[in-house]
Amino acid sequence: MLTRRVAYRVATGAAQAGHVLAITFTRKAAGELRERLGAGGLAGKVTAGTFHSLALSQLERWWADRHTPEPVLLQSKGRLLAELVSGRPGLAGAELADLAGTLEWAAARMVGPDMLAEAASGLGRKLPAAAEEVSALLARYRDEKRRRRLVDFDDLLSLYTHALEEDPRFAAAQRWRWRHVFVDELQDVNPLQYRLLTALVGDNDDLFVVGDPNQAIYGWNGADPGFLASFPERWPGCEVVRLDDNHRSSPQVVALASAVLGRQATPVRSTQPDGPRPELVCYASDDTEAQGVAAAVVRANLDGTAWSSLAVLARTNAQLSILAAALASAGVPVMAPGATGTAQALEGDDASGPATGDREGAPGRDAVTVCSFHRAKGLQWEAVWVCGLEAGFVPIAYANSPMELAEERRLLYVALTRARRRLHCSWARERRTASGAHLRREPSPWLPSLAAHFSGTGEDDGPAPMAGHLGVTPGVLDFFASARLRLARARDATGLPPVETDPLVRPVAECLTQWRRRLARASGVPPQVLFHDATLQLLAERRPRTLEELLEVPGVGQVKAARFGPALLEVLTTASAEAGLAAGA
């Protein structure tokens, strides 16, 4: 849409090509933007690039005009951070990638060392180490860059913004040059980028932006979709055009994806013809899931669908490895974009951008794409397998605040809407950890509310032969129904008053949830692997005082009682006492 808008305005004389600036978020997306503009006869006439490339090119001119020596651009934080972290006991257990991600987040949110702890707490961001240690690291990192005359990619944005705000002549020249500004994917803009944009535009109202609130999935990197929502307030009198048509996915895929978003959804309707209803399969283990998916992918190819029109997606990179291995073992050509990078790599290094734009597969290569939900954004395929829809993955275990959970829903929406016609979803009852242990898994808590949108819902204990049909037997809906029934019966059997009349249930449940979160973090497993939400709710309602009473709670069992019983009873006793005092009981 953005490229057509640029081409139309230039063709009608409403904009001068040499004064047009089109901004996007990644080098890949910028390259495709230039390709599309070139196809419209605007090659070399319109400037298109990322926030970072724009900032660097204009700062180079600014430094040259002032005869100021250019600083050295730091391509990666890793080596410098390793030096600064070395010998710091408080940071010994923190991953460098997590520390780098936190520093990038702080830069994106324009947060300094003195405000880091407060900002992180206010926005529900978990720091990779003690707040004072991370704050001190941020201060040392900034000081060391100044000492060595280094700037990183985030500094480019802040320096360019500072030049625009503090140098009126420079700002006027920039605004004269960029009279017509176009911005893609505004929902992904962070506070620093938004400040740069407003400084660049100034009083100019010739600004065109595109954004989709349903695809705001980069809050972990500092993005704030609120800038898209508040755009009409910042630019009063702007015209808002709502495009509620999905031209990619079938009505069945769109209906399922929209159900994921619930009330936060911006209504979307499909313009495509009807397709098959999405499928949900429960597998016995992650191995059988991977093998079953591989078998289905092979059959799709045998039925005439090109490898490059197929994709296998999962929430985390760890889940992808077993899927990719199963595909390779089945003789499937695999392409894994970004597999060697980290999820929190620099935006300037194309971390958040699509691997192949809006096209299917990689140019000149017919292969199945295997990638994370984040990496899949902007891509589309004829058939998509969305795997590992389990509690702890969907939503991710560390998403606890309403804001984080809302973003997790949007992330699943993005994954589901990568499919044009055929969508296959799955989860596994058992999954191996990195140490080789087998952990029992539960389905995503969002799946029960989506059940009406699936067909072929069932369970499968292993893959069918490659040339055969992957049969499924009815079971997943029964699983959800029986789980709810067991919970209801367990409550009825207690003889306790209804939950809503017991003032201690909610505070005790919150304490149990916090205890489970700490335990999961220390154990390196998703919280629901330890105790399901329904189990914690029953514990809060019954509040057992002995191991015998604890064993009567559904979902505990002998193994968990032996391993966690004493600690769990202590938490229940303390939480009950504190809640009773607070309630005046």
Choosing from 218, 243, 268, the residue where a domain stops is 243
Contacts of 411 (CB under 8 A, 6+ apart): 217, 315, 373, 374
Two tokens, residue 201: 């535009």
Whether 327 and 457 share a structural domain: yes
Choosing from 119, 151, 183, the residue where a domain stops is 151
Whether 20 and 159 share a structural domain: yes
pLDDT at 139: 97
Distance CA 361, CA 520 (A): 37
Give 99-109 pLDDT, tens digit per residue: 999 999 999 99
Distance CA 234, CA 75 (A): 34
Whether 299 and 205 share a structural domain: no
Whether 105 and 172 share a structural domain: no
Per-residue pLDDT of the chain (585 residues; tens, 9 = 90+): 788 899 999 999 999 999 999 999 888 888 888 888 888 888 788 899 999 999 999 999 999 999 999 999 998 898 999 999 998 999 988 999 899 999 999 999 999 999 999 999 888 888 999 999 999 999 999 999 999 999 999 999 999 999 999 999 999 999 999 999 999 999 999 999 999 999 999 999 899 999 999 999 998 889 998 999 999 998 988 999 988 888 999 999 999 999 999 877 777 889 999 999 999 999 999 999 999 999 999 999 999 999 999 999 999 988 999 999 999 999 999 998 765 433 332 222 332 336 333 334 444 578 999 999 999 998 999 999 999 999 999 999 988 888 889 999 999 999 999 999 999 999 999 998 877 788 999 999 999 889 889 975 455 544 433 322 333 333 444 444 444 444 455 545 544 444 445 788 888 998 999 998 888 777 665 676 678 777 888 899 889 988 888 888 877 877 678 778 888 898 998 888 887 777 664
Distance CA 415, CA 373 (A): 5
Distance CA 123, CA 220 (A): 10
User: What CATH number is given to the structural domain containing 164?
Assistant: 3.40.50.300
Whether 382 and 472 share a structural domain: yes
Two tokens, residue 380: 């589309």
pLDDT at 130: 95
Look up residue 343 and give its DSSP letter: T
Whether 62 and 88 share a structural domain: no
Whether 358 and 455 share a structural domain: yes
Whether 38 and 179 share a structural domain: yes
Is position 395 within any domain? yes
pLDDT at 481: 43
Whether 104 and 167 share a structural domain: no
Look up residue 458 and give its DSSP letter: E
Contacts of 548 (CB under 8 A, 6+ apart): none
Is position 328 within any domain? yes
Is position 488 within any domain? no
pLDDT at 456: 56
Three-state SS for 470?
coil
Contacts of 444 (CB under 8 A, 6+ apart): 389, 390, 391, 393, 394, 395, 427
Whether 206 and 311 share a structural domain: no
User: What CATH number is given to the structural domain containing 512?
Assistant: 1.10.150.80
Split into its structural domains, the chain has a count of 4
> In this structure, what are the phi and psi dihedrals at residue 33, rounded to the nearest 5 degrees?
-65, -45
pLDDT at 32: 84
Cα 349 to the center of its chain, rounded Å: 17
Whether residue 238 contacts residue 204, with contact meaning beta carbons closer than 8 Å, is answered with no
pLDDT at 173: 95
Domain of 141 in residue numbering reads as: 75-151
Is position 525 within any domain? yes
Whether 195 and 265 share a structural domain: no
Distance CA 157, CA 52 (A): 6
Is position 487 within any domain? no
Whether 390 and 522 share a structural domain: no
Sign of the Cα pseudo-torsion (555, 559, 563, 567, in order):
positive
Distance CA 370, CA 380 (A): 12
Q: Which residue has the tokens 């002032």?
A: 66
Rounded (10°) CA dihedral 57, 59, 63, 64: 20
Distance CA 373, CA 157 (A): 27
Choosing from 445, 480, 515, the residue where a domain stops is 480
Q: Which residue has the tokens 């055929």?
A: 422
Within 13 A of 563's CA, how many CA atoms are on the CB side? 9
Distance CA 102, CA 230 (A): 26
